[in-house]
Amino acid sequence: MSQAATGSNPLLEMLDTRQLPDFQAIAPEHAEPAVDALIADARKAVDKAIARSADRPSWGTLIEPIDAAGDRLERGFSPVSHLHSVMDSPAWRKAFQACLPKLTAFSSEMGQNTRLYEAVQRLHDDSDAYQQLDAAQQRVVDDMLRDFKLSGVALDDDAKVRHAEIQQRLSELSTTFQQNLLDATQAWSKHVTDETLLAGLPESARALLAQNAANKDMQGWLITLDAPSFIAVLTHADDRSLRETVYHAFSTRASDTGPNGGEYDNSALMDEILALRHEAAQLLGFANYADKSLAKKMADSPAQIESFLLDLAERTQGRAADELAEIAALAAEDGIEEIAAWDIGYYGEKLKQARYDYSDEDLRPYFPAPAVIDGLFRVVQRLYGVHIVAVDNVPVWHRDVTVYEIRDDDESVRGVFYLDPYAREGKRGGAWMDGFQSRRVHADGVQLPVAFLTCNFSPPIGDAPALLTHDEVTTLFHEFGHGLHHMLTRVDYAPIAGIAGVEWDAVELPSQFMENWCWERESLDLFAAHYQTGEKLPSELFDKLAASRNHMAGWQMLRQVEFSLFDLRLHRDFDPATETGVLDTLAGVRAEVAVMQPPAFNRFPHSFAHIFAGGYAAGYYSYKWAEVLSADAFAAFEETSLFDAATGQRFLTEVLERGATRDALDNFVAFRGREPSIDALLRHSGLSEERAA
């Protein structure tokens, strides 16, 4: 008999004892009973809070108990959601899918609870009670009222029902989109027994592919669509037909033209997602979903965003065209008359080798993962005065996972995080930070923030440590920037603590900010050392790395602009009365800004999980928008010194610790002393002749 059947449920027990999840004990059968119990408890808590607040609502009678119940529900489900992402199996998928509709329905129920909304509104309108709240508490109340309206609390009964139905269906569609993408990614592989096909691949890549094969009890080498494998082939394989084969499989994942015969096709899902988002936005009185999304963003209008992106495109297109011409010239030397999409990475790497006399593989030995992770922690310690230590005897979901604490100088714990760094079967692709719990004050003290940090780096091969590419090092720093935002907060109210409640087009500021330390000699010296000899990264190699920072920068920026414009127009211009579809919208954007058209079979949107299964719908522009902030923030260190203590403390106190207690722009101005300027981004991208002093 299962634990769930006998009443023992580790998901509920961890909440009662305020312990970290016991990932060794949590099983799929615990998920649905825990969610059922937590939803029932939350309903009771909300009803009780409303009753107690009938005369005169207060923070203690209304907001705090509602927040506590919601926090408990989120913490109970978080391990389920996480395990579904990192240890996917039929059982975990079934458990997740059983819980999600219930959680979505409960969210709609609370968002449209008229009695609850009216109680919060009474608190807001009671000038004496509202003024007794501190500024952060007032922010929570204001955000709650905004979110009620965005949930359809003011709609008539029929419209409320329809809005809730849409949210339920959107939740299902987004989950299916992500699952189709994972299944399509893992369904394809290419078994290679003739090593000559792998000509050009460095030894590290061949060893990875050999390990892939050995893991499947196969001889030879196995190419998969996981990032380390796919990128290695597209970057290094001399065999052009092999590059084309792998590119075709990758760029058609989860589509009608994919290698699985459309088995995991996301086409219909995308159309339905867009239609439902548009309908929901119009129910709430917005012209389109892009307009609705701006209620929680810094930007003022879709027109402002489009202008920003088109300005970047105009500044970048000439540079990108020149880069493409240089790549095409190299390809022509090999007899390729017309360069194709599967040639870009390969000849881009050739161009870098020709121009800067080094390759990514030259750097790998200097980036062993354990040293890089330790070096990241040392950078953070010098910037913010905190230190990070590994914690033993904490249950984890996989042997690759390590648990750490962030501590102040007095050894008090600021936050806890789990790091899961390597790619493996059953793990969703990409890299992300997700919170298990947020900082909040409760009757027994302070609930510490806890984060999950997940990457998909090249795993260790044999007895050697994992050797990272510089791009992987940058990704690690990026995701840890999100983690710091979540864990270093000093805000005591979970809805606006850390990353929670921050305008979505500002959430990438701390993450992109951290990437800068991957390019500086002083910070690299803290961890970049040869894994066998201990030799520091040679000056000659560092100089080549620094010189190549803007290699293909125009191409990369234009690519991000293309994705951002596509996402914006997809959600702004959707019209159910026209025949304009997803691929038509993308084709129009590419015709306007791209310097090279991909092949007709390319189905990039079908794997664009950021906007169809993540939080970036009508918000992918956030990466470039926030990069203006992050580049300008780093320029403050360029004006002083890389590890200037006063500047680091100011960024900590005015940005990382502040959460959403004030607008993100106000946080930035408090740190920088002025509003952001695009100059640093252009300079860092090589699009300006200006150089830092």
Query: Are the C-beta atoms of 505 and 299 separated by less than 8 Å?
Result: yes
Catalytic residue selected from 323, 349, 405, 479: 479
Query: Are the C-beta atoms of 456 and 369 separated by less than 8 Å?
Result: no
Q: Is 56 left (phi over 0), alpha (psi -120 to 50) or beta?
A: beta
One-letter amino acid for residue 199 of the chain: A
Active site residue 657: no
Cα dihedral 314, 317, 319, 320 sign = positive
User: What distances in angstroms separate CA 675 from CA 507, 546, 672, one per listed residue?
Assistant: 17, 29, 7
Rounded CA separation 359/348 (Å): 11
Rounded CA separation 522/383 (Å): 13
Cα dihedral 618, 621, 626, 632 sign = negative
* φ, ψ dihedrals at 394, nearest 5°: -110, 125
Angle between helices 31-52 and 10-17 (to 10 degrees): 40
Alpha helices in 550-663 (DSSP H): 553-572, 582-593, 609-612, 622-638, 645-651
Rounded CA separation 480/450 (Å): 13
The length of the chain is: 693
What 3 state SS string does 350-397 have? Answer: HHHHHHHCCCHHHHHHHCEHHHHHHHHHHHHHHHHCCEEEEECCCCCC
538: three-class secondary structure by DSSP: coil
Q: Which two tokens stand for residue 258?
A: 């994919």
Q: Write the DSSP symbol of residue 300.
A: S
Q: Write the DSSP symbol of residue 414.
A: E
Q: Which residue has the tokens 């190549």?
A: 548
User: What distances in angstroms separate CA 93 from CA 86, 181, 615, one per listed residue?
Assistant: 11, 14, 20
Rounded CA separation 176/449 (Å): 30
Rounded CA separation 360/561 (Å): 25
CB neighbours (10 Å) of residue 584?
10
Exposed, middle or buried: residue 209 (CB in 10 Å: 0-12, 13-18, 19+)? buried
Torsion of CA 316, 317, 320, 321, to 10 degrees: -160
Task: Tell me which residues are annotated as active site.
Answer: 479
